[in-house]
Amino acid sequence: MNAVEVKKDVYWVGVKDWNLVEFHGYKTPHGSTYNSYLIMDDKITLVDGVKHYLTDEQLARIQSLVDFSKIAYIVVNHVEQDHSGSVPALMKLAPQAKIVTNAMGKRALEDHFDTTGWEYVIVKTGDSLSIGRRNLEFVTTPMLHWPDSMMTYVKEDKLLLSNDGFGQHYCTDALFVKDAKFDVVMREAQSYYANILFPYGAQAEKALNTAGDLGLDIEMIAPSHGCIWSGEKEVSAILAAYGKWASGKDEGKAVIVYDTMWGATATLADAVMSVFQDAGIPVVKYCLSNKDVSEVMVDFLDAKYICVGSPTLNNELFPRVAAFLTYMKGLQPKNKKAFAFGSYGWKPGVVNNIQAVFEALGWETVAPFEEKYTPKSDVVEKIKERVKEMIA
Instruction: Report residues of the chain scoring pLDDT below 70.
Output: none
CA atoms within 13 A on the CB side of 184: 15
Please tell me the predicted confidence (pLDDT) of residue 37.
Answer: 98
Please tell me the predicted confidence (pLDDT) of residue 150.
Answer: 96
Please tell me the predicted confidence (pLDDT) of residue 211.
Answer: 76
Please tell me the predicted confidence (pLDDT) of residue 214.
Answer: 74
Please tell me the predicted confidence (pLDDT) of residue 201.
Answer: 85
Please tell me the predicted confidence (pLDDT) of residue 210.
Answer: 79
Please tell me the predicted confidence (pLDDT) of residue 146.
Answer: 87
Q: What is the pTM of this model?
A: 0.93
Please tell me the predicted confidence (pLDDT) of residue 258.
Answer: 98
> Which residue segments constitute the domains of the chain, with CATH numbers given?
4-247 (3.60.15.10), 254-391 (3.40.50.360)
Q: What SS3 state is found at 190?
A: helix
Please tell me the predicted confidence (pLDDT) of residue 205.
Answer: 85
Label residues 44-82 b or e (16+ Cβ within 10 Å = b): bbbbbbbbeebbebbbebbeebbebeebbbbbbbbbbeb
Please tell me the predicted confidence (pLDDT) of residue 215.
Answer: 77
Strand order, beta sheet including 128-130:
128-130, 135-140, 150-154, 159-163, 220-223, 229-230
For the stretch 182-221, pLDDT in tens is 999 999 999 999 999 998 888 888 888 877 777 789 999 9
Contact of 299 with 328, CB cutoff 8 Å: no
**Which are the catalytic amino acids?**
24, 78, 80, 82, 145, 164, 192, 225
